[in-house]
Each structure stands twice: as structure tokens, then as C-alpha cells.
A and B are shown apart, each in its own frame.
Chain A
Amino acid sequence: MKSNTAISVEKLSKEFRLRGNRHILSGIFRPEWQTATAVSEVDIAIASGEAVAFLGPNGAGKTTTTKMLTGLIKPTSGQLHVLGYSPFERNYAFLKKIGLVMGNKAGLNWDLSARQSFELLQKLYEIPISAYHGRVKELTELLQVSHVLDSQVRKLSLGERMKLELIGAILHDPEILFLDEPTIGLDISSKRNVRKFLSYLHEQGKTLLLTSHDMDDIVEVCDRALVINHGRIIFDDSMDKLSHQYSNIRYARLEFVDASPNRSFAEKYGEVLEAKGNKLVIGADKKQIMKVIATISDKYPIQDVAIERVPLELIIEDLYTKTP
């Protein structure tokens, strides 16, 4: 393992035992068990200081992999080292070097204020008291939540709570931060604030592994993407390379004076993504896109046009569909 490697994974697999009975009674008296493979022989290497997006459709194996990397669940087979530690051994020195933020799980006590919960974290992680006060001040100011630090957590808005959860997860200054949907349910302004903060952590040299279905999180924070589907890694390279193979394609977002042409007409000229009311989204080679617009507008007058690169959502979706 190289000295600057933060995460090193070789042939990592995880299988779960599931009950297979269809009938209630036979399930009680004669349970049949089936094995489901959640992660299959995955190889990952992440260097210290990288910000990596971990992408995949629901059930692809992202969360299971993250849970193995943090030591929450035991791998069925494979080699796994995070900062040189075997995560499942729950070495305290290792636990002090990682942080985990799960967008839908609360780590703060809802009956108390965030400050009171942070006091317990200070004891748990043995943060020197002066460093602790400085860090709480710095992080709450950065995330603009200083004013709610002493309010009961249950009375806060989702955005405020999420920011405070994030602070709780990094109060001990972890080297690696695992983030699972950190902006889920937040409004645009809070999302922007959290993304800015994650970029700041990345600049500080922290290693980030970010799982999110919000592509704006990925684009703004990460410089590399790992895409997993059916428990296997199907893409592992820079964000630029991810979109590179789609760089010759453009999408035209057209708004017509009257109704949009029907789908079968539009499909003669390119890939139709959306055809609804007086709107049409059509994709074609970037050299052809102007010609496509001109041809369509001959028959159907257009009142507004926007030409865009292929959105990351579509690139990822395309990758998933190409996976056997």
C-alpha cells in the first residue's frame, strides 16, 4: 500500500442471507435462505486528499461498500484497508480518523441543543478543550448556524439540522469523510452552502467519498467518479473523462409557438428526451444540432432555444444501461 493511499480495496465482496419463502407459514416453520450479492469483487484505490463521487442507482452497492469502508459491516471476502487499518476491527485510532454523514440519520440528540451534543463528542473524541471551542466557532460560522447552536435540535429546520449534523461528524477533524446523501431534502440555498463547505474541506486536504443522487453535489465537490452497478465498479476515472465521451453531443431545449411536433417526427432527427406540450428536448451530434433545429423550425415555429451539454444525470444513466 502506497503511503499516500487513504483507501485500498481489493476484490471486496459482500453477500447477505435473505429469507426466500413466498408463503407465510412455510416461512415460519421451514425458512429457506437465499444469498444475495450486494458487492462483488470490487477494487478501489483512493489517494489522500481526493474528493471522489461514488455513484450508482438504488441497490447498486454504494451504501454497502461505504459501510464496509467505515467498519460497520463485515466483508464476506476481499482485502480492505482504510488509512492502514482494517475497518471492522473498530480500532479507536481509526475511528478517530474517519467521519460519516448520513443524510437521513440523526447523530444529534433531538431533546438537547447541538452545543450540548457537541460537548459529548468532545469527550468521545478527546478533543482538547481549546481546540474544541475554536473548531465549533469556526465551523458554525462557516456554515452560518452560530445563531441556532443553543436551540433544541428538534425545533430547527432541516437545513440547520443537517449543517449541525455535518459539524458533529467533523468536529474531531477526521482525515476521511464519508458522505451519504448530505444534501438530501435541503433547499437550494442550504445545498449551495453545504457544497461550498465540502469544497472547503477538500481544499483543506481532507479525503472525501461522496454518495449523492444530486449531480450538482458531485460536479461542485468531486474531481473523480466511481460508478457502481449490480455490485461491480463500471467506471473509475476523472469527472472530465466521465463526460468526455459525450462531449460531441448537444441537447437542444426547444419551445414552440404552438404545440411541439410529435415524437415520431422528432425522432427522425435525433434522440428525443422529452416531448410535452409546446416543449421538446432533442439530442444530436454537436456538428448537426444547428441543422436539426433549423429543419424542425421550418415546419414548427420556435419561440425559444437553449443548447446544452449532456447533463451528468444522463451520462450516468447511460452508463447504468450499458452494464449487463
Chain B
Amino acid sequence: MRDVHVDEIRGAVVRLCQEATVLLPNDVLQALKRARQREESPLARQVLDQILRNAELAADEMLPLCQDTGTTVIFLEIGQDVHVVGGGLTEALREGVGSGYREGFLRASIVDKPFTERINTGDNTPPVVHTEIVPGDRIRIQLMPKGSGCENMSRFTTLLPGAGKDGIAEFVVRTVEEAGGNPCPPIIVGVGVGGTAEYAMYLAKKAITRRVGEPHPDAETAAFEADLLEWVNALGIGPQAVGGRTTALAVHVETYPTHIAALPVAVNLQCHSARLKEAVL
């Protein structure tokens, strides 16, 4: 067993909040630059230029990339040989997010009592946390400030078990088409196939944590991702929906075995400000 003190976890979360909201990951930046080179629509190029200048300015001046500093989504991998000491883990994550957002001048966007008073919690807490227990004695924290413009465009369906790739493709392309400019294209399309209803959506969200454009290790899934990307970009929606070749930077598909009666499909969209930062303790 290795002891990890909650102070260390809290400190890491504070740092991740402040860095993730300001620094666009390099893989996203490179994907945007490649898209700018390929893009043919003059208005789309103008939009991509603004997005690239924004990333540069945000990093130079340590300004948030986007005013929507998101719901703080945390993917936590805890090694089974780790012993968290000095306090509660959930509390440490919550305090880390609260301090990170307050001290980082980040927007508090979370409201409690969601269907009545909608009272702002004041410091963007609580985060949404997904925990996995893995082998080893480390803790890996991935922090994703997830904007709501794109999150609102998430969709889920249950297809007939035999619907296959065609059924999934139809649903994914329709979801992107209906979302239009709302999720801030060029987007990253996360697709979760299999498991159960809630697990499919978890997979879709997990899919957008993959490095942009890195193909799935399974060749058949990777080929499907490439087809989906082509079909999504054939829509012509383009950056901010002004029309163009670049509607999505990537489509990532994650799968899990499912029931004989089922084919659940979830789509989770990520905006071009695809913020993600990780720490390993």
C-alpha cells in the first residue's frame, strides 16, 4: 500500500482547474492548425484563425479560453494499492475545484436545485466524478472543464440489436446535423456503443478524452471512426456553422459488450475548446 495524502490531491485539482481552462492541449491545437490548412471556405478560415489566435492569447495572458469554464468533470483512476489518508477523497476533489475556480477567476456556472430556484453554488462545485479502480499504486486525475453548449447536444438511443454500423452512423450524423452551430464546431464527436444506457454515455464522454485523431486500437472500429468523420464533415456545417469542410476534428468510438437484446448508442459532443489536463500522483 502507498499512502497518498488528500492535500496532494486537492493541490493537484486546484492546479488542473487553472491550467485546463487556459491552455489548449497540444493535440487539439495541432488538429485545428491542420484543419485551417485544409479548409476551403473563406468564412470558415476566418473563424479558425480567430480560434487559433484565441488559444495563443489565452496562453500568453493566462486568460480562460472560453467564458464557459464548464462543469468540472473528473475522471479518476485509483490504483488498488493506494491508501488515501488525511481526510475524505470526495471532499478533497470538491475543495480543489472550489479553490481552483475562485482563485483562478473562473466562472461559477453550477446551480443547485436545478428545477426550482437554480441557486449558484458560487465556486463551480460540486464536480462530476467518474472513478475507476485499476492495478497499481498511483492516482491518475483527468480534469475536463466541459462547456454546456456542447453538452446540451448529447443524445442517446437504443437501436435494434441488428441495426449495425448503418444504424449507428445514421444516429451519429443526425445528432451532429441537428446540433448545428450550438456545440461550437469544429467538434470532437464521442460515441459510446454497448453496455447499458448510462454506461454508453460514460463511454461517449470517455471517448473525447482520447488524443484528438488517435485511431481506436481495434482496426475495424478505427475504420468506422474514419467513415463517420467523413460523413459528418460532408454535412458542410463548418466551424461555428458558417459553412465549410471542418465540422468535426475527429470522431472517437468506444465500445463495450452488451446484452443480446440491446444496442445502446450515446453521443457526447466536445467543442473545439476541448480542454483536458491530467496529473498522476
Real complex partners, A and B?
no
- Residue ranges of B at the interface with A (Cβ–Cβ < 8 Å): none
